[in-house]
Amino acid sequence: MTSGVEPRDDWFHRWVWVLFDGTIWFGAIYGATWLRFDFEDTPVLVTATLLFAAAAAFAHLIVGSVIGPYRIGHKRGSFEETTDLSRTVLVTTSALFVWALVAVPLVVPRSVPVVAGALALLGMFAIRFLIRSWRSRHTLTSEDERRVIVFGAGEAGRRLLRSMGGEHSGFFPVALLDDDKAKRRMSIDGVQVRGTRTDIREVAQKFNATALVVALSQADTAIIRKLSDLAIAAGLDVLILPPLRDIIDAHPTSYDLRDVNVEDLLSRRPITMDSSIVAEQLAGRSVLVTGAGGSIGSELCRQIARFGPEKLYLLDRDESGLQATQLSMTGQGLLQGDEVILADIRDLDAMRSVFRAALPDVVFHAAALKHLPLLESYPLEAWKTNVLGTLNVLTAAAEVGVGSFVNISTDKAADPTCVLGYSKRVAEQLTASFSSTEPGSYVSVRFGNVLGSRGSVLHAFAAQIEEGGPVTVTHPDVERFFMLIPEACQLVLEAGSIGTDGEVMVLEMGEQVKIVDVATTLIRLSGRKDIDIIYTGLRPGEKISEDLFSINEDRRTTSNPLVTSVEVPTLSIDDVQNAEPVNHKSAAEWMRQQSTLFAKAEV
């Protein structure tokens, strides 16, 4: 508990400033009087001038203690202090002017209070500015402080430098760098811009720096990767300041700095979602998510919950996954309530029962098998889950009149060469077929790899690094699209809201990243230097590079520049229902033929 007693040091410093300001008033009165009498000493050095100056200082003290800067502690030179100070000087000047105006005999010339008030305020501002500038000078206060170079002389860098000027920040900025040539030789709080990114090594050696701090308000992945490479080559650690929008009150401090992580180096430019469109689709509606225990499904559930659906159903056959999702959303994993549904999308009767009980307005279909090498070995499993399972969910949804159905697809469905791609391509075609026969909206959303999803390459590499290596990569040139899970889910929600019935909404994924670069980055971030990378060769069905679009698909823009729509041909539901592959080989052949057939039909 606080006692409510003002700290002695704060009280003392406040009244020291009263003496400063009182002295300034004395000087201002004498200076204004001296100006009035054309710099003659005789009419100035009289008792009346001394009396008026003392009254001015005393009045300023009284007013400042009631409505001004002495009634409460302020940060020196802050906006709050200068506002209080201006108000105090204005009131004091007005009172002095009235006295000079009505006094008989004349105490001082009537112009003196006005001129003196302006001089006093200017003097008070000046001394506060000088002291604040002196205090903000960056001086090494401890041998433990890290000597850092700050990249970015914009608003983010300026605010960070000012926070580093405080005591015990742990950082001592020795130089600024910025690629804007117009900022060359600029100085912020005594720290000068010494060059651009190309000067990192030279500046680091000259000023004995140990780390590079990236302080950019909007730093895209390419810039962070380049700066990170240059800094590491110069023997510097790399720290990054989050965007100002992610910092409380947008006042960054050294505590906001963190190490660069793999998401900074591999993700894409920030996603902006039109929340109003998504809210219109989800608020007050009944929503069902299949695959709710998976990486994408669980994040979808968390984001959907923010928009206030009337009911949110979580469906999965993985009971542990369901519990983890519920725990992340509610803080408890009791698996109670009708909103948690344990069911397999392969079971049509189960899907019908679930949908009749839930009567969802919106469905997000995220349940799928996704591991390419396993599905190459077991194509029949891909058929049962990704094709028949999707058909079962579509059928159950159509029978209860779902208003909006969003099928989550993959970039491997564009010009597919693997079982995973074949099966997801058929799922897209089935979704398009229902759009032509059912009154609701049926769309698919296609995107690439997501960073950190369960079973992703990041987890595999991290496990290999933990075991001491080696890290295995299929091919030195293999590359993939990457996106953060929250970003992917945001675009899925918006794409589902703006999608045209029957189309596939394709998310803009930025540039592809080489998998070997991902491995190298993770090894570097781990601090291990003894980890080798070995190449194992491309797996069956695997491409060197992925495609987001088939060569035959006509792209159309949407209201979101990060989402493009394409049409896919429909697939007869009867053909799927009549197809009865008896083994893995026949399942793979049937799905491959469908993809080949429609690829030719699109030409």
What SS3 class is residue 169? coil
Contact assessment for residue 294 and residue 314, using Cβ atoms and an 8 Å cutoff: no
Q: How far apart are CA 339 and CA 345, in angstroms?
A: 16
For CA atoms 79, 81, 84, 90, the dihedral sign is negative
Distances (CA, A) of 420 to 85, 470, 543: 70, 27, 12
Contact assessment for residue 369 and residue 406, using Cβ atoms and an 8 Å cutoff: no
Contact assessment for residue 60 and residue 92, using Cβ atoms and an 8 Å cutoff: yes
CB atoms under 10 Å from CB of 142, counted, come to 10
Q: How far apart are CA 366 and CA 302, in angstroms?
A: 14
Active site residue 585: no
Alpha helices in 103-174 (DSSP H): 112-136, 155-164
Q: How far out from the chain centre does Cα 72 lie?
A: 37
Contact assessment for residue 420 and residue 587, using Cβ atoms and an 8 Å cutoff: no
What SS3 class is residue 219? coil
Contact assessment for residue 77 and residue 135, using Cβ atoms and an 8 Å cutoff: no
Contact assessment for residue 195 and residue 230, using Cβ atoms and an 8 Å cutoff: no
In terms of Cβ atoms closer than 10 Å to its own Cβ (0-12, 13-18, 19+), residue 235 is: exposed
Alpha helices in 467-567 (DSSP H): 485-498, 515-526
Kindly state the tokens that stand for 91: 């009131």
Helices 8-36, 112-136: axis angle to 10 degrees equals 140
Of the residues 412, 424, 514, 543, only one is catalytic, namely 412
CB atoms under 10 Å from CB of 390, counted, come to 26
Contact assessment for residue 443 and residue 431, using Cβ atoms and an 8 Å cutoff: yes
Q: How far apart are CA 601 and CA 173, in angstroms?
A: 63
For CA atoms 487, 492, 493, 495, the dihedral sign is positive
Distances (CA, A) of 462 to 35, 322, 467, 468, 596: 77, 25, 9, 10, 37
Kindly state the tokens that stand for 16: 């020291």
Q: How far apart are CA 551 and CA 230, in angstroms?
A: 38
Bridge partners of 406, per DSSP, are 364, 443
Contacts of 68 by beta carbon, 8 Å cutoff, 6+ apart:
60, 84, 85, 87, 88
Contact assessment for residue 60 and residue 123, using Cβ atoms and an 8 Å cutoff: no
Kindly state the tokens that stand for 134: 């002196």
Helices 275-282, 485-498: axis angle to 10 degrees equals 70
CB atoms under 10 Å from CB of 600, counted, come to 9
Active site residues: 412
